[in-house]
């Protein structure tokens, strides 16, 4: 299956309008979290990644675990959303190719290192939401939370919110 399929202008408008409405998205560098997620959810502090050079391997661990989790929730013939706020957004499949760019990242990185990065089911009823300024990742949806508890990323050590 083809991977990293850019959303059309119509899809992009629909997706962001839906996301803003459903998640009350208000991007901010000082008011956190900037979105409201349905329960259940868990928000993890990932600031240690940016503070400790010894955790550099945690990036690859997060990518690997995220793909495993997404594969548990997406059929091989389905796509999910990979959103990069104010940049190109994509339809992806966790079964496709995840080439890395010159910085060693996916086209939409799973680790929020400079922008909001969101990975969502097409219905937006589960997902992983990365907040760059809070240095956090929120996962929501009962099944996704359960899967991440079984495939626990190294960075998911400190919970800062749950509901």
Report the number of distinct structural domains present in the chain. Answer: 1
The pLDDT of residue 136 is: 95
- The reported pLDDT for the residue numbered 30 is 80
* Domain annotation covers residue 135: yes
State the pLDDT at residue 53. 65
Is 33 part of a structural domain of the chain?
no
What is the CA angle 9-11-16, rounded to 5? 95
pTM value is 0.94
Q: Is the dihedral of CA 51, 140, 66, 15 positive or negative?
A: negative
Tokens of 120: 């969502």
32 falls within a domain:
no
Nearest to 71 by CA among 150, 157, 155, 133: 150
- How far apart CA 137 and CA 120 sit, in angstroms, is 13
Position 30 in a domain = no
Pairing, β 5-6 against β 90-92: antiparallel
Quote the pLDDT of residue 121. 98
Domain assignment of residue 89, given as a range? 5-24+38-162
Interior angle at CA 59, CA 56 and CA 62, nearest 5: 145
With respect to residue 108, please indicate whether it lies within any of the assigned structural domains.
yes
Residue partners of 130: CB distance under 8 A and separation at least 6: 109, 110, 111, 112, 116, 117, 118, 136, 137
- Write down the pLDDT at residue 54: 61
What is the enclosing helix (H) or strand (E) of 152?
none
- pLDDT tens digits in sequence order for the chain, 163 residues long: 789 999 999 999 999 999 999 999 988 788 888 899 999 999 999 988 877 766 678 889 999 999 999 999 999 999 999 999 989 999 999 999 888 888 888 999 999 988 999 999 999 999 999 999 999 999 999 999 999 999 999 999 999 999 9
Question: Is residue 139 one of the residues assigned to a domain?
Answer: yes
In a domain, 44, yes or no: yes
Whole-number CA gyration radius for the chain: 15
Distance CA 26, CA 131 (A): 12
List of residues 6+ apart from 2 with CB closer than 8 A: 96
pLDDT of res. 55: 66
| 144 within a domain of the structure (yes/no) | yes
């Amino acid at each position: 299956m083809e991977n990293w399929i850019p959303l059309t202008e119509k899809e992009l408008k629909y997706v962001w309008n839906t996301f803003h409405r459903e998640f009350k998205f208000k991007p901010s560098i000082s008011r956190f979290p900037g979105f409201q997620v349905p329960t259940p959810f868990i928000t993890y502090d990932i600031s240690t990644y940016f503070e400790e050079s010894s955790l550099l391997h945690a990036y690859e661990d997060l990518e690997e675990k995220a793909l495993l989790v997404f594969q548990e929730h997406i059929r091989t013939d389905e796509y999910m959303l990979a959103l990069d706020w104010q940049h190109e957004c994509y339809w992806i499949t966790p079964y496709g190719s995840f080439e890395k760019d010159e910085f060693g990242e996916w086209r939409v990185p799973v680790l929020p290192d400079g922008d909001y990065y969101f990975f969502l089911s097409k219905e937006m009823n589960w997902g992983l939401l990365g907040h760059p300024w809070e240095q956090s990742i929120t996962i929501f949806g009962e099944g996704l939370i359960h899967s991440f508890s079984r495939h626990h990323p190294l960075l998911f050590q400190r919970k800062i919110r749950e509901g």
